[in-house]
Amino acid sequence: MDNTKIIQEQILLRLGWTEQQYFQFQYETGLKYLEYYLFADPAGQRLLEGQQLFWNWWKKMWEAREQTLLTELGEEVETGLFTDVFNYVHDPLELSCEIKPSKIITHSLADAIK
């Protein structure tokens, strides 16, 4: 089993979520991130939303945050606190200020606009 799947299973177990709930949350958070990151550019939001390159980047960033979350919180944290920290770590408004897509993704957006 690959590391991504192991991380996801640990998160699902800690949150008490199904895979569908998890992936829906990840997708909706990605869309919200785009709204905040490109708040003045709805066309850019829609364009990036349709880019596999963006979603691959988003999932890599997501996995890195979750690996850190699991490492730092350990297994002793109760579910309510874990859920609160999980939601904070994935807050799309905060993330729009902290992480930016790579130049490859932004160039992809620029090329698509041309």
Which long-range contacts does 92-101 make (Cβ < 8 Å, 24+ apart)? 92/29, 92/30, 92/32, 92/33, 92/35, 92/36, 93/32, 93/36, 95/33, 95/36, 95/61, 96/33, 96/36, 96/37, 99/61, 100/37, 101/37, 101/48, 101/54, 101/57
Q: What is the pLDDT of residues 1-47, one digit of tens each?
A: 788 899 999 999 999 999 999 999 999 999 999 999 999 999 989 99
Which domain covers residue 106, as residue numbers? 3-13+20-113
- Number of domains forming the structure of the chain: 1
pTM for the full model?
A: 0.88
